[in-house]
Structure 1
Amino acid sequence: MFLPSSRLNAFRVASRAFSTSSARSADMAKLLLIGRLGKDPEVRVTKNSGKEYVSYTVATTNHPPPPPNADGTPAEPKTSWHTILSFNPSSNNYLRNLKKGYHVFVEANYELREPDPDASPETPQGQRQIFLRHENIRVIGRPKAVQNDEEGH
């Protein structure tokens, strides 16, 4: 395959820049969720520093649905519950106004935390945990009851 020299040089620069970038600046884990708020966001305070944060839960359902059961009946889709934490004061002000049932698009940083070797396996500290830190949220839709209240019906 023949590439013009300008395109070939651009390709070399792009591939070289990627391969020589530091791991710290290039690596990331992000989770994108589209689902519904499972309950109103809650304002909480950290145990150590007393810093305020907001915790909210988003429910997602597998799509497409799982394959049919062995007897041919449709399998029930499974719902997953994701807890996201926001430590950004400006985001927290916005999150406080959201309500259960809102359909949302969420971007969150994803961190997998290994269990504490000294903790009991029955406790959350003794199990592997997924930590989701809020980055962005967009409301896609509101529940019908909320829409009717806002329209004065």
Structure 2
Amino acid sequence: MLAFTRNAALRASSRAFSTTASRSADMAKLLLIGRLGKDPEVRYTKNDKEYIAYTVATTNTTPTAEGVQPTTTWHHVLSFNPASNNYLRTLKRGSLVYAEANFELRQPDPNADPDTPEGQRQLFLRHEHIRVLRSPPKDKEEQDAD
């Protein structure tokens, strides 16, 4: 009886880490905390489908011989969700945001010129969620209007 119980427990625990492919649960997610580099832009695909493109700037510090050097990385995110797009249109450059995006690394086309985007590896970020942590300071003109 004890051997049966032990074998049943081993089988149950081995199933928790199955090697069976489960594509619906696979994901690659990027979490960004940074500032919007410019106001989100409305763009259109070749099939006239509207989407929003926005850029989040993050700053990393790199130790160097001269001290700590800050470097800025620009992350270009695309949103194809109409409900999210309406909200994204209201955001302003300089807003501190927390953004979640799924990402896909696309390999270069072996027949393309290496100096073109098609000839280079590309990271595509697809918008999932965004939250404004802090709005940008108001411009002098906006303060005068209040």
Distance 2:30 2:108 in 1: 21
2:79 to 79, 86, 100: 86
Give the unaligned 5+ runs of structure 1.
Answer: none
Instruction: State the SS of the aligned residue for 1:25.
Output: helix
Distance 2:71 2:13 in 1: 41
Give the unaligned 5+ runs of structure 2.
Answer: none
The CA RMSD over aligned residues, in Å, is 2.4
Residues 102/14 of structure 1: CA separation in 2 closer, same or farther (3 Å cut): farther
Residues 59/15 of structure 1: CA separation in 2 closer, same or farther (3 Å cut): farther
Alpha-carbon offset, residue 20 of structure 1: 4.9
2:108 to 104, 115, 125: 115
Q: Identity over the aligned pairs, expressed in percent? A: 64
Structure (1/2) with the larger strand percentage: 2
Query: Would you say how many aligned residue pairs link Structure 1 and Structure 2?
Result: 137
The reply on whether 1:145 has 2:138 as its aligned counterpart is: yes
Per the alignment, residue 61 of structure 1 pairs with 59
Q: TM-score, normalised to structure 1's length?
A: 0.80
CA contact (8 A) 2:92 2:136 kept: no
Distance 1:74 1:35 in 2: 23
Q: TM-score, normalised to structure 2's length?
A: 0.83
Distance 1:46 1:124 in 2: 17
Q: Which amino acid aligns with 2:57?
A: A
Alpha-carbon offset, residue 26 of structure 1: 2.6
1:126 to 119, 123, 134: 119
Following TM superposition, the consecutive aligned residue runs of length 4 or more in structure 1 with deviations greater than 2 angstroms are 11-15, 20-23
Distance 2:105 2:90 in 1: 29
CA contact (8 A) 2:77 2:126 kept: yes
Q: CA-to-partner distance for each residue in 1:48-96, whole Å, 9 max, x for gaps?
A: x11000000000001xx222x32xx323211000000000000000000
